[in-house]
Amino acid sequence: MYAPPGVKTSKDFPIPDEQKAWVLGDPGRLTLTKKAIPVPGKAEVLVRIDAIAICATDLEVIYHGPPALIEGGLPFNKNWTPGHEYMGTVVALGTGVDEFSIGDRITVEIHAGCGQCKRCREGMYTSCHNYGKNYGDVNKGHRANGFTSDGGFCEYAINNINTMVKVADDMSDEEATLVVTAGTAMYGLTELGGLIAGESVVVTGPGPIGLLGVGVAKAMGANPVILTGTRDNRLAIGKKLGADHVINVKNENAVEGVKRILGGKGADYVLECSAAPNALNEAMLMCNRGAKICLAAFPHGSVPVDVANIVRNNIYVYGIRGEGKSATHRAQAFMEQKRFDARLIHTHTFALDDLPEAIRYAKDRVEDAIKVVVKMRGSVAKKMAAE
Ligand SMILES: [Zn+2]
Ligand SMILES: [Zn+2]
């Protein structure tokens, strides 16, 4: 029976000695294995994972490696478990934890950071200066679950209390896995971008972050919110999430479309989620002087950029990594208040044993999968339609 010294457990939530866990072997190869249940330390808890969503960044990590960084290098063949967008139930408390109780339903953010560098102290723990330093003689205790420490394609994981958000009782497990995605859009638009009500926002690319970016922008009072993309069904979901206008760039040039809607002046904000090679150049043509462009997608390779345009027009361009400054808490608050319906982007559910098939759905966008969720227990039919 799991009973490490100094760790509080409860007979209501019995913990086995070992768990099922997927580990990454060679690129693209995942194996279901058994692992010991990890032990929470100071300010940490043990989470029984109930559901986890698959993210495009998981696919990057599983097939290519970065931005995962394990023991100073690529994550392959290190008995390491990927996966980062999970939710679950607190089942054991490490030393000094009274912020959470056993039985609390929580969802997580990914980065605990190291807690001691300049950026962590500023709340920008997703930009921790000690990223990946959690081993051997460079151990600064950095954690980014599913990137530099074990992730959630398994049954139990350790979380620092600062990476957890309590979930509303009436929010389903599946919906709760989406809080962190909304938190990423939130961090880009509000904490880093300073978005206030009444400003115009263009979101380019209706992937998960883009679609929830629409929801967050609208909930923040942005006006109007414009979404661009190539697939009408995704644009229709964007409308349900709060987009005032959508532009299918197969039918209309995105820059001309934005100028048509905004009367030639262009947008105050562009949230770039498409990763298209010319996306930044187009974004600066869509926005007005002094506007802000938030880059939230990873293009493959470097791209030529019209820097003079940025300079002449006083445009602010910034990247985001993940969801800093507790943005996830604010995203959960919006979702709890039903300010947008994140469930619209959840399309498929699989059982933990079927993770490779779930990943295939996410990677090849089978049946136009947007967010694929894996449930850890209970009987999950091989897949089911969204709620
Ligand atoms: Zn993610
Ligand atoms: Zn740090």
Question: What confidence tens digit (pLDDT) does each residue in 129-187 have?
Answer: 999 999 999 999 999 999 999 999 999 999 999 999 999 999 999 999 999 999 999 99
Quick check: is 66 in a domain? yes
CB 215 within 8 A of CB 238: no
Same domain, 47 and 162: yes
185 and 308 in one domain?
Answer: yes
Task: Please report whether residue 232 resides in a domain.
Answer: yes
Give the number of the ligand closest to the Cα of residue 146. 1
Residue 384 has pLDDT above 70, yes or no: no
Task: Say which residues have a Cβ less than 8 Å from residue 186's Cβ, sequence separation at least 6.
Answer: 216, 323, 327, 328, 330, 331, 334
pLDDT in tens, 187-209: 999 999 999 999 999 999 999 99
Q: φ, ψ for residue 147 (rounded to 5)?
A: -130, -50
Same domain for 188 and 155: no
Answer yes or no: is pLDDT of 25 > 50: yes
Name the residue range of residue 160's domain: 18-110+145-177+341-375
Residues 295 and 275 grouped into a single domain = yes
Distance 151 CA to ligand 1 centre (A): 11
Give the number of whichever ligand sits closest to the CA of residue 131: 2
Q: Is residue 88 part of a domain?
A: yes
Largest CA distance in the chain: 67
Tell me which long-range contacts 378-383 makes (C-beta under 8 A, separation of at least 24).
379/351, 380/349, 380/350, 380/351, 380/354, 382/350, 382/351, 382/354, 382/357, 383/348, 383/349, 383/350
Q: Is 211 strand, coil or helix?
A: helix
Question: Does 154 lie in the same domain as 188?
Answer: no
Q: Which residue shows structure tokens 């349900």?
A: 240
Mean pLDDT over 373-383 rounds to 73
Q: Look at residue 57 and tell me if it is in a domain.
A: yes
Identify whether 356 is part of a domain: yes
Give the ligand at the shortest distance from the Cα of 60: 1
**59-95 pLDDT, tens per residue?**
999 999 999 999 999 999 999 999 999 999 999 999 9
> 349 and 215, same structural domain?
no
Burial class (CB in 10 A: 0-12, 13-18, 19+), 1: exposed
Residues 27 and 168 in one domain: yes
Ligand 1: centre distance to CA 54 (Å): 7
- Between the CA of 296 and the centroid of ligand 1 the distance, in Å, is 11
Q: At what angle do helices 56-63 and 355-364 cross, to 10 degrees?
A: 110
Residue 140 covered by a domain: no
Write out pLDDT tens, residues 245-300.
999 999 999 999 999 999 889 999 999 999 999 999 999 999 999 999 999 998 88
**Nearest ligand to the CA atom of 54:** 1
CA angle, residues 88, 94, 97, in degrees to nearest 5: 85
Residues 23 and 164 in one domain: yes
Q: What percent of the chain has pLDDT over 90?
A: 95
- H/E segment holding residue 332: helix 327-336
Tell me, what's the pLDDT at 382? 52
Number of domains in the chain: 2
Tokens representing residue 265 in the block:
């002046």
Residue 142 contacts residue 132 (beta carbons within 8 Å): yes
Radius of gyration of the CA atoms of the chain, in A: 21
CATH number at residue 29: 3.90.180.10
Asked if residue 200 and residue 82 are part of one domain, the reply reads: no
- Cα of 132 from ligand 2 centre, angstroms: 10
Pairing of strands 85-93, 105-108: antiparallel
Cα(63) to ligand 2 centroid in Å equals 27
The yes-or-no verdict on residue 387 having pLDDT over 50 is no
For residue 112, report the distance from its CA to the centre of ligand 2, in Å. 8
Ligand 2 centre to CA of 72 (Å) is 16
| Residue 247 and residue 209 in one domain | yes
For ligand 2, the distance from its centroid to the CA atom of residue 89, given in whole angstroms, is 26
| Ligand 1 geometric centre to CA of 321 (Å) | 10
Q: Are residues 246 and 349 in the same domain?
A: no
In a domain, 238, yes or no: yes
CA of 85 to the centre of ligand 2 (A): 21
pLDDT at 386: 45
The 10 Å Cβ neighbour count of residue 289 is 10
Q: Which ligand is nearest to the CA of 212?
A: 1
**Distance from residue 297's CA to the centre of ligand 1 (Å):** 11
Nearest ligand to residue 120 Cα: 2
Neighbours of ion ligand 1 (CB under 5 A): 55, 57
Residue 13 lies in a domain: no
The 8-class DSSP code of residue 320 comes to -
Cα(69) to centroid of ligand 2, in Å?
15
Enter the pTM of the model. Answer: 0.95
Q: How many CB atoms lie within 10 A of CB 176?
A: 28
Q: What is the pLDDT of residues 48-69, one digit of tens each?
A: 999 999 999 999 999 999 999 9
* CATH number of domain containing 187: 3.40.50.720
**Same domain, residue pair 281 and 351:** no
Tokens 């105050």 sit on residue: 268
Pull the structure tokens for residue 140: 């600064």
Distance from residue 193's CA to the centre of ligand 2 (Å): 21
SS3 of 110-176: the string is CEEECCCCHHHHCCCHHHCCCCCCCCHHHCCCCEEECCCECCCCECEEEEEHHHEEECCCCCCHHHH
330 alpha carbon – ligand 2 mean position (Å): 22
Question: Is the bond into 67 cis (omega within 30 degrees of 0)?
Answer: yes
